[in-house]
Amino acid sequence: MNTAIENHWYPVAMISGIDGPRETLLLGKKITLGRKDGTCWVKDATGKALPTVERFGHLWTSPGQPNRDLFTIPEADSPGRRLVDVGSVKVKCSPLRAVENFLDIAHFPFVHTDILGAEPHTEVDRYDVKIREEVDEVWATKVKFYQPQAAKSAAGGITTEYMYRVPAPTCSVLYKTCPPRPGEWDIITLFVQPLTDEWCEVWPWMALYDDESTMSEMVSFQQLIFMQDRSILENQIPRKLPLDPGMEVPTQADMTSVAYRRWLKKIGYTYGAQLVAA
Amino acid sequence: MILYDYVLSASCYKVRLMAALLGTPLILRAVNFHPAREHKSPEMLALNPKGTLPILQDGETVLTDSADILRHLTMDHPEWRSPDDDRWLAFASDLNESLGLARLHDVIGYEADIDTARAAGVTALRKLEAHLTEQRFDGLIFLTGKAPTIADIACFPNTALAPDGGFSLDPYPSIRLWMRAVRSLPGFIEMPGIHRLHELAHPA
Ligand SMILES: N[C@@H](CCC(=O)N[C@@H](CS)C(=O)NCC(=O)O)C(=O)O
Ligand SMILES: [Fe+2]
């Protein structure tokens, strides 16, 4: 057992989607989950109860003994936000690759053409990235990018500002300019359940200010975006995320990815990673 | 005309694509098919007791089968019709149970006899490849002739999305050329998993 991997919290279900008991995989091992009298439960293959947290509309568990609480997103609690259960998409890729792709804005004009990016606006300006030691999270701030349709609620092209946060090895939270409320951030998360080291179930979740769109429209928009990523993710080579910084040459746009990999190495998180001699 | 639509549905995309190629405006109503299963809600069942998408509402007319909807959209466009369409519309509907089902299984965890679906998908792709190769030998690029018809629009979505369900299209050069021809039609629109055609490089 590798505690550096097992002692984390992982998303395993959308709470509103749990009807009967259900089997799934976590880190390559079978688990069962369900809900009884309004409370969710998870068991491992031997029938042992695993710890649970219900947060952000999702059920979280851990095969180990997490030494801290699941992260929080205090901004998501502010009144007026609409909380969007996007559902899940399964992807044959390393969980770390799924997070890394989410952190990378350079692909927007090419993969999310005319929505999250458009040629010729392909430049990513310098921004700030660091590992915040006090909370042990990766943060990228002051990321700016021109977007033709930044959200369902956007009426036209705007320069969007982003902050990216990696609060857990297989989770990322992004904060981006909210088109109808320029002083506030929209929150979009990617919670990744590692089914195995090359197969994941991805649970996006959002907390948005948008008084116009229907819930279905917001869900559709996000599913459209994520499905554009899926085919890219399934075709990445190498399949696992290389943790030797020498192996893929970083560009400015990839600074968040470099910090993410460095942080994974620091905390010894190697599930879905490809370790190469330094 | 109102289309009750799900953004990731191959069958809804058939309708969006056909309307775009014709220049027919559609009002889209997003239905939360996944994860909320809104197509099975009382409101949607009242409109379509089968509980499926797409649904097209045109005045008093409500159509719930994508083949019927393609016929309806092209009622006054004989150039989009061929006597051979019917067999390809049936073929397209079978693709939902093979390529389409494998895709829903792999992407959103649909229950499926996945081995059967995959085997049927490969059989269908081989049949399509064989037919399109014959067409090429005759100097024809589309399923029923020189010009596209509703047959092509019906068969294109599940075929082009097959890689989402784990099928490689590498072994099918005639299918790939045909998909390129469909993607180059004026007014073509994309969907996630089907990218627009990039400009071929021009010599400097
Ligand atoms: N609605 C979001 C989509 C967010 C999203 O989930 N994007 C994909 C990209 S890879 C993505 O999954 N993240 C980036 C992003 O927010 O733009 C947006 O507009 O930005
Ligand atoms: Fe993306």
Asked whether residue A249 carries a pLDDT value surpassing 80, the answer given is: no
- Tell me, what's the pLDDT at A276? 73
Strands (E) across chain A are located at 10-14, 22-26, 29-36, 39-44, 49-50, 52-55, 58-61, 82-85, 89-91, 128-132, 137-147, 158-168, 171-178, 181-196, 199-208, 241-242, 273-274
- Tell me, what's the pLDDT at A215? 97
- Tell me, what's the pLDDT at B201? 54
Number of domains present in the structure of chain A: 1
ipTM: 0.92
- Tell me, what's the pLDDT at A253? 59
- Phi then psi for residue B39, to 5 deg, are -65, -15
Assigned domain for A71 exists: no
Dihedral sign computed on CA atoms, order A28, A92, A9, A82? negative
Q: What is the CATH number of the domain that holds A96?
A: 3.90.380.10
- Tell me, what's the pLDDT at B18? 98
Band of the pLDDT at A182, cuts 50, 70, 90? confident
- For residue A152 and ligand 1, the question of a CB distance below 6 A is answered with no
Gap between the Cα atoms of A275 and A244, Å rounded? 7
Band of the pLDDT at A277, cuts 50, 70, 90? low
**DSSP secondary structure code for residue A113 in this structure:** B
Which ranges of chain A does DSSP label H, i.e. alpha helix?
3-6, 95-103, 108-111, 215-234, 255-267
Domains of chain B: 2-78 (3.40.30.10), 81-183 (1.20.1050.10)
Domain encompassing residue A228: 79-238
- Tokens of residue A135, six digits: 């909370």
Kindly state whether B8 is in contact with chain A, defined as any CB-CB distance less than 8 angstroms: yes
Query: The pTM is what?
Result: 0.91
Across A115-130, average pLDDT: 91
Assigned domain for A255 exists: no
Name the residue among B30, B34, B163 with its Cβ closest to that of A217: B30
Burial of B115 (0-12, 13-18, 19+ CB in 10 A): exposed
Whether a cis peptide bond, with omega within 30° of 0, leads into B54 is yes
Band of the pLDDT at A278, cuts 50, 70, 90? very low
CB contact under 8 A, A219 and B36: yes
CB contact under 8 A, B193 and A215: no
Q: In the structure, how many helices (H) and strands (E) does chain B have?
A: 8, 4
Asked whether residue A244 carries a pLDDT value surpassing 90, the answer given is: no
- Tell me, what's the pLDDT at B204? 44
Kindly state whether B140 is in contact with chain A, defined as any CB-CB distance less than 8 angstroms: no
Determine which of A80-84, A91-95, A158-162, B136-140 has the lowest per-residue pLDDT on average.
A158-162
Asked whether residue A107 carries a pLDDT value surpassing 80, the answer given is: yes
- Tell me, what's the pLDDT at B198? 76
Taking CA atoms only, the protein residue closest to ligand 1 atom 9 is A102
Give every CB contact of residue B52 below 8 A, 6+ residues apart in sequence: B39, B64
Number of Cβ within 10 Å of residue B40's Cβ equals: 11
Expressed in angstroms and rounded, the spacing between residue B194 Cα and the centre of ligand 2 is 15
**Per-residue tens of pLDDT for chain B, all 204 residues:** 999 999 999 999 999 999 999 999 999 999 999 999 999 999 999 999 999 999 999 999 999 999 999 999 999 999 999 999 999 999 999 999 999 999 999 999 999 999 999 999 999 999 999 999 999 999 999 999 999 999 999 999 999 999 999 999 999 999 999 999 999 999 999 999 998 887 655 554
Query: Do the Cβ atoms of A129 and A157 come closer than 8 Å?
Result: no
CB contact under 8 A, A223 and B8: yes
- Tell me, what's the pLDDT at A272? 97
pLDDT greater at residue A119 or residue A7? A7
Band of the pLDDT at A247, cuts 50, 70, 90? low
- Tell me, what's the pLDDT at A111? 93
**DSSP secondary structure code for residue B202 in this structure:** P
Assigned domain for A144 exists: yes
- For residue A174 and ligand 1, the question of a CB distance below 6 A is answered with yes
